[in-house]
Amino acid sequence: MANKFQSVKGFYDVLPERQKLFRFFEKIALDLLDQYDFREIGLPLVEPTGLFVDSVGSFTDIVEKEMYSWKDSLNNDQLTLRPEGTAGCVRAVIQNNVTYNGSAKLFYRGAMFRHENVQKGRQRQFHQLGVETFGVSAAAADAEQIIFLDRLWKKLKLKNVSLIINSIGDAVDREIYRSRLIEYFEKNINTLDDDAKRRYKSNPMRVLDSKNKDMQEMLNNAPKLSDYLSIEARKHFNELQELLIKNNINFQVNNRLVRGLDYYNRTVFEWITNELGSQGTIAGGGRYDYLVESLGGNPTFACGFAIGIERIVLLLEESQQLTTFSPDIYIVNNGAGAQAFALTIAEELRKEAYKVSVNLEETSFKSQFKKADKSGAEICLVIGEEEVEKNIIQIKLIREKGDQFSTDYSELTKNIKKILN
């Protein structure tokens, strides 16, 4: 008996109905990226493991337990399937000297891999669209990215998404804050759970992110990073908020937002929705002014974000924006020569840029009409033996109580234009 293989847990096939939504998202996002003058950079799926250890951070969930890493037995290289895009993008910027004549506004898209517990909105292979701006310290760069996202959600007609922002200060601010936090956790050691006990010394800020209910009161009373921000970091954060207000972007400041990757400083932000259960973050990012230098490049200001595309697709599915992909015209056909006639007509109409679907199965008109209706098309063309003989076509307006009239083949395009344009 043949082995019947299944896809690997957390790795999914995307069937055509859903793939259309990926394309819908991509098309809108790519057009908008052009409008903002972000340029696409293509990046490898595989990078040296050390790149993620040195950037994302060795005490983060991603590096500690979620990376697909292996030793390439041919040359002993330690390699990893990228769990995120920023590290690879920074490596590429340094390696190719992308910022040699100033700033650069880049984006990338594609699969990322994290060995996480699988649930709705959380896969092991997922897709991100990431944007990174290099060489700008002004809060305008952070603001531009957030404004871009706000416009993107509007174009996608996503409702119920909101923005939370925070400033986590600069490296020195965090050093002081870290030691205060460690002292505080030491005083409250009995309230910490095992996970927190394990990492409060190495990564105390991550402990603040804990969802453990028994720790919430203690965490709420912990020292606040906002009290330790330098004057410059505070000013930067105020400027960002002013720019967002000027651009009518609603946001909430959440002092507990720190994000799960180590490279951030100053701005961090997340866009969240309450429509996806616990995996409600649809995009996240922030500033990372030290990363380029710490990976061997010249000191370069930077900020960026990534969108989780599957989560957007889930939202699109829930809001049932499927009709966007319907054909304009669906052609049903039955009888000798009808299918050949249908194919010829379909080509004529496609030349005029209409989306046309031809029924290719030899089934009854009744079942074909059902399909035409389900396809979401505005117009159904009906071709039977009589139509072929007389060179005419029946036009049925599916969405208008099924109104129907016939047209000569030579007049078809003209009539379709009258209806659809």
Q: Which amino acid is at 95?
A: Q
Yes or no: say if 383 and 349 are a contact pair by the CB < 8 Å rule: no
Nearer CB in complex with ligand HAM: 259/396: 259
What is the phi/psi pair of residue 140, to 5°? Answer: -60, -30
- Closest distance to ligand HAM from the beta carbon of 377 (Å): 33
- Closest distance to ligand HAM from the beta carbon of 384 (Å): 49
- Closest distance to ligand HAM from the beta carbon of 74 (Å): 29
Question: Which single residue is written with the structure tokens 């993620």?
Answer: 52
| Residue 355: closest CA among 382, 385, 324 | 324
- Closest distance to ligand HAM from the beta carbon of 252 (Å): 17
Residue closest to ligand HAM, measured at CB: 308
- Closest distance to ligand HAM from the beta carbon of 272 (Å): 9
168-193 burial code (b ≥16 CB/10 A, e <16): bbbeebbeebbebbeebbeebeeebe
Question: Which single residue is written with the structure tokens 């040359």?
Answer: 75
Alpha-carbon distance of 60 to 261, in angstroms, equals: 6
Nearer CB in complex with ligand HAM: 310/387: 310
- Closest distance to ligand HAM from the beta carbon of 64 (Å): 14
Which residues of this protein are in contact with ligand HAM, per CB under 6 A? Answer: 84-86, 114, 116, 121-123, 126, 128, 130, 132, 260-261, 281-286, 304-306, 308, 310-311
Nearer CB in complex with ligand HAM: 85/327: 85
- Strand order across the beta sheet in which 379-383 lies: 356-358, 329-333, 379-383, 392-397, 403-408
Nearer CB in complex with ligand HAM: 11/365: 11
Kindly state the tokens that stand for 69.
């890493």
Yes or no: say if 75 and 141 are a contact pair by the CB < 8 Å rule: no
Nearer CB in complex with ligand HAM: 164/249: 164
Nearer CB in complex with ligand HAM: 109/199: 109
